């Protein structure tokens, strides 16, 4: 099996690549250079929101580095192509796909791929979405379950890679185990780790010739855009609940409606 991964440059993305590499599935890699991992707060916001913004993203940086460590690709024995966002749908990527002729393509953490690139991909071409589709599609979709007080709906989706944003048929939903003391970023990191484990199992099934069932997305759910999120939304997470939403859920003080998950195994 030849597997091509298209992924970003943030710690969670490189961890995913490392997991596939260590399992012996990764045979070629494309890395899109993403935006700065520790962004600056927007101008002209209230001082309280500036402090929350800095807390949120500094906590994210610290938590992800603790969870995923420093990943050095220099000793890997797979070919790696580095691109920027403007090159993602360009000739270098298309030539790379043609050259390495993968049996499986996985995308995780890259910007939208156009139809010209997608036409080069094999039957098994899946995207890893950081949210449970169709209910949380689009951007910042591991944040919104916490904002809506449903931390058990924080998870990730493996779905068919199509030109429709997070809209392809679902292969598998991954949700992490929730532990006392988990904050919003701990849950996000654990979701990444669980999805990596689950994907390895799905790839094992493919390698054994087992069939993979794809479930169409029957509900449009909610497509969150980058414009939906504002720094003042962080007031709910930190000022109102001091990042203790998981503890409240585990104590039975929030609702406990489970998400209807699609499972590949």
CATH code, domain with 129: 3.40.50.12230
pLDDT of residue 163: 82
As a whole-number percent, the residues of the chain with pLDDT over 90 amount to: 94
Quick one: pLDDT at residue 221? 80
Q: What residues make up the domain containing 131?
A: 3-251
| 258 located within any domain | no
Q: Is residue 146 part of a domain?
A: yes
From residue 261, give the alpha-carbon distance in Å to each of 108, 173, 175, 203, 223: 20, 6, 9, 19, 18
Looking at the domain assignment, is residue 261 inside a domain? no
Q: What residues pair up with 32 in beta bridges, in sequence order?
A: 83
pLDDT at 254 over 80: yes
pLDDT tier at 31, thresholds 50, 70, 90: very high
> How many domains does the chain fold into?
1
> What is this structure's pTM?
0.95
Q: Of 67, 45, 57, 40, which Cα lies nearest the Cα of 238?
A: 57
Q: Residue 137 falls within a domain, yes or no?
A: yes
Domain membership flag for residue 122 = yes
256, part of any domain? no
Cα distances from 50 to residues 24, 43, 143, 195, in angstroms, run 44, 9, 18, 32
pLDDT tens for 33-82 read: 999 889 999 999 999 999 999 999 999 999 999 999 999 999 999 999 99
Q: Give the per-residue pLDDT at 200.
A: 98
pLDDT tens per residue across span 204-246? 999 999 999 999 988 768 899 999 999 999 999 999 999 999 9
- Whether 62 is covered by a domain: the verdict is yes
Q: Taking Cα atoms as reference points, which of 103, 89, 218, 104 lies closest to residue 163?
A: 89
pLDDT in tens, 160-197: 999 877 789 999 999 999 999 999 999 999 999 999 99
Contact 134, 220 (CB under 8 A): yes
Structural domain includes residue 265: no
């Amino acid at each position: 099996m030849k597997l091509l991964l298209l992924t970003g440059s943030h710690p969670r993305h490189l961890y995913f690549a490392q997991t596939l590499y260590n399992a012996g599935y990764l045979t070629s890699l494309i890395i899109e250079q993403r935006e700065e991992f520790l962004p600056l707060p927007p101008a002209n916001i209230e001082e309280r929101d500036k402090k929350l913004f800095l807390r949120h993203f500094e906590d994210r940086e610290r938590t992800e580095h603790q969870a995923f460590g420093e990943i050095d690709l220099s000793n890997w024995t797979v070919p790696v192509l580095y691109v920027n966002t403007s090159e993602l749908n360009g000739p270098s990527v298309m030539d790379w796909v043609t050259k390495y002729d993968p049996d499986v393509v996985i995308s995780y953490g890259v910007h939208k791929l156009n139809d010209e690139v997608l036409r080069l991909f094999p039957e098994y071409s899946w995207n890893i979405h950081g949210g449970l589709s169709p209910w949380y599609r689009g951007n910042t979709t591991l944040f919104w379950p916490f904002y809506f007080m449903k931390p058990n709906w924080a998870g990730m989706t493996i779905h068919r890679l199509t030109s429709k944003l997070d809209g392809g048929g679902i292969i598998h939903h991954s949700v992490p185990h929730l532990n006392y003391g988990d904050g919003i970023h701990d849950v996000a990191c654990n979701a990444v780790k669980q999805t990596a484990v689950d994907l390895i199992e799905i790839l094992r099934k493919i390698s054994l010739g087992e069939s993979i069932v794809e479930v169409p997305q029957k509900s449009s759910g909610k497509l969150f855009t980058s414009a939906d999120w504002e720094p003042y939304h962080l007031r709910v997470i930190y000022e109102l609940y001091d990042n203790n939403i998981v503890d409240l859920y585990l104590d039975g003080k929030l609702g406990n409606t489970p998400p209807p998950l699609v499972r590949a195994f």
